[in-house]
Homo-oligomer: A and B are copies of this chain.
Amino acid sequence: MTRPLVTILDDEPEIRTLLAEVLEEAGFDTLSFGRARAFEAALATHTPDVCLVDLSLPDTDGLTLVHRLALEQGAIVIIISGRAQVQDRVTGLELGADDYIIKPFDPAEVVARIRARLRSPKPASQTGNVAAFNGWTAHFDRYTLEDDTGAETPFSHAEGEVLRLFLDAPKRLISRAQMQTSLGGVASESFDRAMDVRISRLRTKLREDPKNPQLIKTIYGAGYIFLGDVTWS
């Protein structure tokens, strides 16, 4: 039984040791870092299940780090911060953090919130940036789609967001509302047709027959289903 790996990124040594102790006791493996640089270096060799991040770091802006971790790496990110303003919490959560805990915190609550996040884990994308499906290979690090002959076509950031959403939940219905909230979009009052356009462009790059799409299927009045057989690596 492998234990979930939790990384701790905080510049105060006492907090690091306190958290590490409690989390080890609670059944997690931990890795502690005082600097963002060391933490990011460790990401090359480790794939944490949960990242605890303090926003007040000496060598980076914490929020950009959170944003990159959450959106690009798809990791579960929990902010632990002394900044207690509501606005701080809201922007932290909107940038992709999964939870926001205020210092001083109770260790038991930290454990409970980590467990709550791990109950419905984010799938797949934690393990890699390359996914293969039905003759295609998507390279999210390079923003390119490779077909079965090896030819590559680039895709944009917006297209990649939609594609990742599909590849993380293949063969399941994804409602438009889910997509909107997943992609950080504020559900605008005016009909948001942007999603349709994104999907339309993605379909073109996947060379879907508009009359009979094989990969991205529209369920009228309900959402979309991605039908590929996905393997992440």
Contact = CB atoms under 8 A, between A and B. Distances in A.
A115 B93 contact: yes
Contact of A172 (B121, B171, B219): B121
Contacts of A98: 116, 119-120
A225 interface: yes
A3 B158 CA distance: 21
Copies, count: 2
A116 B141 contact: no
A4 B178 contact: yes
Contacts of A176: 1-2
A99 interface: yes
Contact of A116 (B99, B143, B192): B99
Interface residues of A, number: 67
A57 interface: no
Contact of A121 (B26, B108, B157, B169): B169
A120 B179 CA distance: 10
A186 interface: yes
Contacts of A109: 86, 89-90, 93
Among all A-B residue pairs, the 8 with the closest Cβ atoms? A27-B187, A118-B181, A93-B112, A86-B106, A4-B177, A90-B112, A93-B116, A121-B169
15 contacts: A1-B177, A2-B175, A4-B178, A4-B181, A49-B177, A89-B109, A93-B112, A94-B112, A94-B115, A96-B119, A118-B181, A120-B123, A141-B171, A143-B217, A157-B222
